[in-house]
A and B are shown apart, each in its own frame.
Chain A
Amino acid sequence: MMKHKKKEPLFRISKSGFVPLHKAWAIRIGALLLALVVCAFIIYSIIKLNPLKVYGTMFQGAFGTNKRMWVTIRDTMMLLCIGLGLAPAFKMRFWNIGAEGQVLVGGIASAACMIYLRGKMSSTAVLPIMFVCSMLAGAIWGFIPGYFKAKYGTNETLFTLMMNYIAIQLTSYFVALWENPYGSNTVGVINSRDKFGWFPPIFGQMYGLNVIIVLVLVVFIYIYLNYTKQGFEISVVGDSENTAKYCGIDVKRVIIRTMIISGAICGIAGFLAVAGAGHTISVSTAGGRGFTTIIVAWMAKFNSFVMVLFSALLVFLEKGAMEIASRYQLSDYVSNMIIGIILFFILGSEFFINFKVRLRQRYAKDKSQ
C-alpha cells in the first residue's frame, strides 16, 4: 500500500546548475532534429509532400546556386551586424528594441551621401564618408534613449520602440523627397548607371565587403565584451546596478556610452543595407530585421561567434521557406509555419538547458533515496 501525505506534482522543475557545453549543444541539436520530425509529419499530412524532398528544396533555396549562396551570406551578414549592435545593450540589460530605427537612420545617411555627393568625388572616396555618416546617425538614434534612461530613468523599451516610428516617418519623408519617378513613392535603385556609392566587388564577389566589415565587427565585439574594462563594466551594470555603483562604476556614463556603440553598429548595418545590398532607401530597408535579431542575440547569449550560427540559421529558414513556396506553389503561410515550429523548438530547448525537469517518482523509490 502506498499512501501519499501530500501529492507530489507530476513534473518537478528545478534550476539546473552548470551545464557542460557539449550537453547544452546536444540538447539544442536534439531540439532541431525533433522540430524537423514534427514538421515532417505536418508536411506529409497537410500538404502531402515527401518531407525529405521539402528539406532538400529548402537547402537548395539557400545554397542551390553560387548566387543564392551569396545572397544568403549577404543577408546573414546583415542580420549578424544588427545582432552585434544589440549585444552590448542587451548584456547591460538595456532593452534596445530600436534597432529597426537605428538601421533606418543609418540607411538614410548613406542614401543621402549617394545622392548629394555624386559627381563631387570618386566612388571609393565616398564609401568611408558614408560609413562614418551612417555610424553617426545610428549613434545619435542610440544616444537619445540612452541619455534619457541615464538622466531621467525613462523606460528604454518604450522609448527605443517609439524611436522606430520616428525613424520610419523620417524615412517616408526622405523617400518622398528623393522619389523616382515623381509621385511613385519609391526611390528606386540609386545611381544605377555609374554605381556611385555602391560596394565594389571584392575578389569578384559583389558582397565581399559586407562579409569583411561584419566579420571585423564580430571579432571587435567579442573582444570588447569579454576582454576590455568597458565590456566588464557593461556586464556588471547588467547584473546589478547597485554592485556597479558600489564598485565605483559611473552607471550613467556606461549606459550612454553603450547605447552610442549599440546605435552606431546598427547604423553601420544601415550602411550595409543601402550601399552593400539594396542601393535604395525605403521604409522596408530594415525589413523587420531589427526585431528578428533580438532572437539571434538572445539565443547566442551575446556571444558574437555563436551569433554567426543563429543568423545563418534564420536566413537559411527564410530562404528555404521562400523556395518551398515557389517550387510547390504553396502559400507563404505553410512555409512560415515550418519556420515557426523550428524556432519554437530551438527556443524551447533553452528551457531544458536552464532547468531540470523530473517526472514524479514512485513514493517508495523516493523514500529509499
Chain B
Amino acid sequence: MKKLFTVLFVLVFALTVVAVNAEAAAEDFKLGVILVHDENSGYDMAHIDGVKGAQEKLGLTDDQIIFKYNIPETEACYDNAVDLAEQGCDLIISDSYGHQSYMMQAAAEYPDVIFLAATGDTAWKEPMENVANFFPHTYESRYVSGIVAGMKLKELLDSGKVTDPYVGYVGAYPYAEVVSGYTAFFLGIRSIVPDAHMDVQYTNSWYDPKAEGEAANALISRGCVIIGQHADSTGAPSAIQAAKDSGKIVYSVGYNISMLAVAPTAALTSAQNRWAALYTPTIEKAMKGEAIPKDYSVGYANDAVQIAPLGPEVAEGTQEAVDSAIAGIIDGSLNVFDTANYTVKGEKITTFLALDTDGDWVGDTGEAIEDGIFVESKLISAPYFSLRIDGITELTNE
C-alpha cells in the first residue's frame, strides 16, 4: 500500500512538473516580427492584425512579441533577424518576399531558432530544418474579387454605358506571385464576362503610391473601366476615385485593405488575406515545440482569405454570386485554375512543372496539373502559376 502511494505520489508530482514546464515553455516563448513597412501600409497592417489575432488567441503578452518596423530588403533584415535571435526569440517571421535570403543567412547561424519568411519560396529546397515559408490562398480571394468586378462590368455593358470590356491591373513585379494573382482576378471576371480582356501595368515596387497612381491613370486613359491591383498602397484607388469624380466610368478593386476610405464610390471591394489563420497555428506549434511545416498554405476553407465589404456601386446580385463562388471554392466544385477555362497561345495546358531545382528559374520538377486542374500553392506555399494566359497583355514602358 505504501508502495502504491509512493508510485502515485511520484506520478502526480511528475505530471505537475510536466504541466508546469509546458506552461513555463509557453511563458518563455518569444516571437520576433520583421515588417517591411509599418502600420501605414495596408499590407503590413494586415500582418500586424494577423499577429495580434494570434496573440489574443494564444494568450501571449506584449513582452513576448517584438516588432521591427520599416526593415528594408537589405542586410538590415539580416541585422534585425540576428538581433531578434539574440534577444531570445524562438520564432522569427518576416513579411516581405525580399527578406527571404537574409532570413536564410541568419537561419544558418542560429539553428535553434525558426526563421519563417512569409510569402517566400525557397524553404522547401533548403537543407536547414529551421526555415519555413507560408502563404495564404490569395488567388481564391482574387478570383472572388474578380467576380465582383465581372458583375459590375456586365452591368455596365448591359446598360450600354460601356462597350469594351476592358480591364486594367496595377502589378508590382513580373513574377509568379503577381501573375498568379492577376490571372485569378481575370478568370473571376471572365466567369461573368467571357470576352473581357486585361492589361497589366507594372510599377516595379511593392509600395509606391505615386507610381501606382500613375499606372492607374495610364490604364484609365487606355480605356480600362475596372482596375485591380497587386501593390500595397492606396495610390491606384485614389487616382481612380479622382478620375471617376471627373466623370470617367471606372472602378477599383483593391488589395489588403478596404479602399472605401480613399475611394468611397469607386471601390467595389478588395482581395484580402487573413494572416491570423496562418500565424495562429504556426505560432502555436512553435510554442509547443512541435515541428513547423516548411510550407503552409490555406484559403477560404480555413478562413485565411476574404474580400472587403462591397462598395456602394456594386451591381445587383453581387453578394449572391460571391457567396456561391466561395461555397464552390470551399466544397471543391470550383477550381480557380481549371485548365478548361483558359489557353496559353491558343493551346490548352496539359502539363506544368512548378519547381526549379537547378537555379535557371524554369521548373524542372513538381507537376502542378492534376486531372486537368492547375493546383496552386500545394507543392509549395508560394504561388507558382506563372503562365501568361490568352486575353491578358503585360504592358512594358521600357
Interface positions of A (Cβ within 8 A of B): 65, 67-68, 71, 180-186, 188-189, 192, 277-280, 282, 284-285, 287, 322, 325-326, 329, 331-332
Contacts and interface: CB of A to CB of B under 8 A. Distances in A.
A278 B102 CA distance: 9
A24 to B, nearest CB: 35
B21 to A, nearest CB: 28
Contact of B361 (A65, A181, A186): A181
Given A67-B86, A331-B38, A279 B98 contact: no
B73 A186 contact: yes
Contacts of B69: 325-326, 331-332
24 contacts: A65-B86, A65-B87, A67-B86, A183-B173, A183-B175, A184-B173, A185-B173, A186-B101, A188-B100, A189-B78, A189-B104, A192-B101, A192-B104, A277-B75, A279-B105, A280-B74, A280-B101, A284-B74, A322-B68, A325-B69, A325-B70, A326-B66, A331-B40, A331-B69
B67 A181 contact: no
B75 A279 contact: yes
A204 B66 CA distance: 29
B173 A192 contact: no
Nearest to B206: A185
B176 interface: yes
Contact of B83 (A68, A278, A280): A68
Interface string B123-140: 000000000000000000
Contacts of A332: 38, 69-70
B105 A189 contact: yes
Contacts of B97: 184, 186
Given A188-B100, A326-B69, A182 B361 contact: yes
Interface in B135-160: none
Contact of A71 (B73, B79, B98, B173): B79
B72 interface: yes
B68 A326 contact: yes
A225 B317 CA distance: 77
Nearest to B176: A183
A233 to B, nearest CB: 39
Contacts of A285: 74
Given A184-B97, A278-B74, A326 B174 contact: no
A67 B75 CA distance: 14
A100 to B, nearest CB: 15
Given A68-B83, A71-B83, A332-B70, 16 more contacts: A67-B86, A68-B86, A71-B79, A182-B175, A182-B361, A183-B176, A184-B98, A184-B173, A184-B175, A188-B101, A189-B78, A189-B105, A280-B74, A287-B72, A329-B67, A331-B39
Nearest to B33: A326
Interface string B15-52: 00000000000000000000000111000000000000
Contacts, number: 73
Contacts of A67: 82-83, 86
Contact of B174 (A183, A189, A279, A325): A183
Interface string B207-220: 00000000000000
Contacts of B121: 181
Query: Which residue among A185, A322, A329 has the maximum number of chain B CB atoms within 10 Å of its CB?
Result: A185
A181 B83 contact: no
A279 B106 CA distance: 13
B74 A287 contact: yes
Nearest to A278: B75
A168 to B, nearest CB: 13
A284 B75 CA distance: 11
Given A71-B79, A192-B105, A325-B69, A282 B173 contact: no
Contacts of A188: 98, 100-101
Contacts of B61: none
Contacts of A192: 101, 104-105
Given A67-B82, A278-B75, A287-B74, A186 B98 contact: yes
Contacts of A322: 68, 70
B107 to A, nearest CB: 11
Nearest to A329: B67
A326 B66 CA distance: 7
A185 B398 CA distance: 15
Contacts of B100: 188
Closest 10 CB pairs of A and B: A183-B175, A182-B361, A188-B101, A278-B75, A189-B101, A186-B98, A183-B174, A185-B173, A71-B79, A65-B86
